[in-house]
A and B are shown apart, each in its own frame.
Chain A
Amino acid sequence: MQAFLEYVVTGLVQHPEVVTITPVERDGATIYELRLHPQDVGKIIGRQGMTINAIRSLLQAGSARKGLRCTLEIVEDTPPG
C-alpha cells in the first residue's frame, strides 16, 4: 500500500522530493503518516477534504482485499522553538 500512496501523493504535489510516508502500527491497523512541503498540504487535502478522502477510500479498498486495515494521516510538524 505504501507504493500506492507514494505514486499518488508524489504525482499530485509540487514538491515530491520532500514527501515522506512512514507506516506506524497501532491497534492492528497501519497508519501511514504523511509529511509534505507546507505548500502542498492544501493540495492533498483538496476542496472539502475531497482529495484526501478519495485517497483514503482507495487505500481501504486495496488493503481490505488483503485483510489489512490502513489509514492515512497528514502530519504537520511544528517548527522547533
Chain B
Amino acid sequence: MEVTFKIKRFNPETDTEPYWQEYQVDVEPKERVLDALLHIKRTMDGTLTLRFSCAHGVCGSDGMVINGINRLACQILMQDLPTGPVKIEPLKGFQVIKDLIVDFDPFFDHLETVKPYLINDELPPSRERQQSVKERDRFDETTKCILCGICTTACPSFWANGEYLGPAAFVNAHRFIFDSRDKGAQERLEILNDKDGVWRCHTIFNCTDACPREINVTQAIAELKNAITFQQF
C-alpha cells in the first residue's frame, strides 16, 4: 500500500529551522514503521538520519514521535496506524542533533543521579543471596525498563523543566528500592524527595500510556511517593 510519510527534518550543518519533508513509500501492511523508514533512508534519501538496532523492541534505540505519540518505530506495524499520512518527529524535550536523533546524554546523567545499581556493602554469601519468589515479584515490573527514553520525553513535567529527573530515572530507582537485596533505599529516596524528584510528577499517565514495555510507570512513581511519605519500602 502507498503511504505518505511526513518527517520532521533538521540538520544543523545546513538548516536554520526544522522543516517537514514528505516521502511516498510503498509498504506492506505487516511491515514495521522502522522498515518503512529504512526503506526511505536506503533507497530514497540517504541523508535521513535515525537510530535503530535490534528492530524488535528490546534495545530502545528507535524511540520517536509517530502521529503525535511516543513509540518505538520497530514495535508499530504499518497496519496498526490509521489511514492517512504518517507523521514522524524526534522525541520532545531533548536537544535535536539531526533529524530524528536527539541527545541522550542528559537522560543518562539523570539516570545516574538515582544510583541505579545494587547497593549492599555486606559480604555476600558464598552462594547466591536468597530471595523469595514474592520478593522477586515485588520489583519485577521495573526490571523490564530498556532506557529508551520514551516515558521521560512523553512527560509534560519534563518538557517544562529539563532538570526534572523524569519517569525513567524513577523506574530504575524503584527497581532497586524494592529489591530485598538492596540497602540503598534511604539515600535514593532522599534524592527522589528533592525539588527535581518525584513530587514534580502530576500523575498525567503519559509515561504509562507510552511505555513500550508496558511498565506501569505511574504506579511505580506512586509507590516511591508513598515510600518517601511513610518510610515504607
Query: Are the chains A and B members of one assembly?
Result: no
Interface residues of B (CB under 8 A from A): none
Interface residues of A (CB under 8 A from B): none
